[in-house]
Amino acid sequence: MSDHETGNRPSRRAFLGGAAAAGALTAGGARAQTPDPLITEIQPWAQGFGDGVDAVRYGLPIEYEGDVIRRNVEWLTADTISSINFTPIHALEGTITPQGCAFERHHSGAIDLRKEDYRLMINGLVDRPLVFNYADLERFPRENHVYFCECAANTGMEWAGAQLNGAQFTHGMIHNMEYTGVPLRILLEEAGLDTAGDLADKWVFVEGADASSNGRSIPMEKALDDVLVAFKANGEALRKEHGYPVRLVVPGWEGNMWVKWIRRIEVMDGPVESREETSKYTDTLEDGTSRKWTWAMDAKSVVTSPSPQAPVTHGTGPLVISGLAWSGRGAITRVDVSKDGGMSWETARLARPGERMALSRFYLDTHWDGSEMLLQSRAMDDTGYVQPTKAQLRAVRGLNSIYHNNCIQTWLLRANGEAENVEVS
């Protein structure tokens, strides 16, 4: 292996370490030449004590997993307050995102809002404008659902070409959690919607308690369907940076609409056309016109391993290709994987049947002969939609849409096991 190969740190250390051992590991079932001291000698952990149960009251991952952290990309934004960071999806498995490394996107920073100080107002075209405190919300009937939250800008830096080298950076503006909360429908009914009359042309405007407010307009049909006012995620309270104590969960729709620290819901007879649905989160096409209200996140997938931050360190032989697929318009029904840049495809295995508007894990258990591969994955959802190539997307939209890039991703896996973000013909 060449010393001047570049891979994305911090995986390089692991890569180098793994490569050194590759000769021994490649053969898989080969006989050991000398006894392994990790087996033949008593190790300290097998002799003495570990930590007591009182050592850590709320634990963090073991230090050896120090790689599995959020990362930000400084040049993307003017500062770190109205900015983004990225979930380390290259290192995760299954579908549930650990909250502590689940991505953040703020417009005026992650605010500190106590339950005691929390208020939620419902006003506008309702029979009775209401104010709830946090305790009120916990007295409404609850539901639990797993949904992905994907930033509209996820993969947005890749419109013009292959730019960032790692699945964390190209696809990591996403997390997937089990939410507990109250259907927005129930809260609206508590305020009463008779005043609103025909609900077909009504909207709700939702905004947060932070300085940016992040106000967005949502059509009433969606508000009454599956939107949740959530106060727990993955079993515990929301993290501060994810909207503590209460956020909106808008299944399948762009993450910007998942208003955090939600403080007000107004029933209206039209959209507000706020800053976050005019200046931002509108998608400019090649002719200069722009789409607005592009709410749903379309079917998408990515191979998380191997990937630039997760190189192959074990040499040839059995190789697990692992990845994520999701669709904002339904459930993933199938994922195909290509090793030759889309010339031919094999259907991968879904770890579990796809769930609506939630991440699905797929696997292709394969045998790697050590030759270069151009790895791709292609998701399909239960509407029959097939994840497009970047060329297909560009043909419709041009290069300036910024948001909603759900193209097929290609990783070039080299003979030495390192991977790179590339585009292919």
Partner 1 sequence: APAMADKLGLGRAALPEEIAAWDGDVRPDGTGLPVGSGDAIIGEEIFATQCAACHGDFAEGIGNWPKLAGGMDTLYHDDPLKTVGSYWPYLSTAFDYIKRSMPYGNAGTLSDDETYAILAYILYSNDLIDDDFVLSNETFLDVEMPNADGFIVDDRAETEYAQWRGEPCMENCKPEPVSVTMRAMVLDVTPQEEAQAPAEETNVAETAAQAEPEVVAA
Q: Alpha-carbon distance 303 to 309, whole Å? A: 11
Distance (Å) of CA 351 to CA 333, 354, 358, 360, 364: 11, 9, 13, 7, 10
Phi, psi of 386 (to 5 degrees): -110, 125
* Distance (Å, whole) CA 338 – CA 350: 16
Using CB under 8 A, pick the residue from 16, 274, 366, 415 that binds partner 1: 274
Told to check if 374 binds partner 1 by CB under 8 A, we report yes
Helix or strand or coil: residue 126? coil
Structure tokens at 151: 């930033």
* Interface with partner 1, residue 388, by CB under 8 A: yes
Please list every residue from 342 through 371 that binds partner 1, using CB under 8 A.
342-345
Q: Element (H or E) spanning 252, and its range?
A: none
385 touches partner 1 by CB under 8 A = yes
Q: Which is nearer to partner 1, 139 or 367 (CB)?
A: 139
Q: Which stretch binds partner 1 (CB under 8 A): 40-48, 53-61, 242-250, 379-387?
A: 379-387
16 binds partner 1 per the rule CB under 8 A: no
| Torsion 296-119-102-76 (CA) sign | positive
Encoding tokens for residue 263? 């403080």
Looking at the DSSP bridge assignments, the partners of residue 379 are: 335
Cβ neighbours around 253 below 10 Å, total: 26
Minimum gap (Å) between residue 377 Cβ and partner 1: 12
Nearest residue (CB) to partner 1, 224 versus 324: 224
Q: Which is nearer to partner 1, 50 or 141 (CB)?
A: 141
Q: Could you say which DSSP state residue 195 is in?
A: T
Residue 273 makes contact with partner 1 by CB under 8 A: yes
Report if residue 308 touches partner 1, rule: CB under 8 A: yes
Pick the piece of the chain touching partner 1 (CB under 8 A) from 25-33, 52-60, 105-113, 359-367.
Answer: 105-113
Look up residue 109 and give its amino acid: G
Exactly one of 14, 22, 111, 130 binds partner 1 (CB under 8 A); that residue is: 130
The residue from 134, 149, 290, 359 that contacts partner 1 (CB under 8 A) is 290
Return the residue of 14, 16, 22, 76 that touches partner 1, per CB under 8 A: 76
Q: Which of residues 150-189 bind partner 1 (CB under 8 A)?
A: 151, 153, 156-157, 159-166, 169, 185-186, 189
Shortest approach of partner 1 to residue 294 CB, angstroms?
5
301 binds partner 1 (CB under 8 A): no
**Which residue of 17, 28, 270, 318 would you call a contact of partner 1, by CB under 8 A?**
270
Cα angle at 126 between 125 and 130, to 5 degrees? 125
- Asked whether the beta carbons of 238 and 247 are under 8 A apart, the reply is yes
**Candidate list 26, 82, 195, 371; residue touching partner 1; CB under 8 A:** 82
Could you tell me which stretch among 23-31, 33-41, 104-112, 142-150 binds partner 1 (CB under 8 A)? 104-112
Contact between 112 and partner 1 per CB under 8 A: no
> Residue 301: is it exposed, middle or buried by C-beta count within 10 angstroms (0-12/13-18/19+)?
buried
Report the chain's terminal Cα–Cα distance, integer Å. Answer: 27
- 77 near partner 1, rule: CB under 8 A: yes
Q: Smallest distance from the beta carbon of 330 to partner 1, in angstroms? A: 12
Touching partner 1, residues 207-266 (CB under 8 A): 207, 211-213, 215, 224, 263-264, 266
- Measured from the Cβ of residue 59, the count of other Cβ atoms closer than 10 Å reads 8
Segment (H or E) for 356: none
Examine residue 80 and tell whether it contacts partner 1 (CB under 8 A): no
Q: Does 378 bind partner 1 (CB under 8 A)?
A: yes
- Transcribe 297-321 into DSSP letters: PPPEEEEEESBTTB---S-SEEEEE
> In whole angstroms, how close is the CB of 286 to partner 1 at the nearest point?
7
Q: Which of 98, 192, 219, 317 binds partner 1 (CB under 8 A)?
A: 192
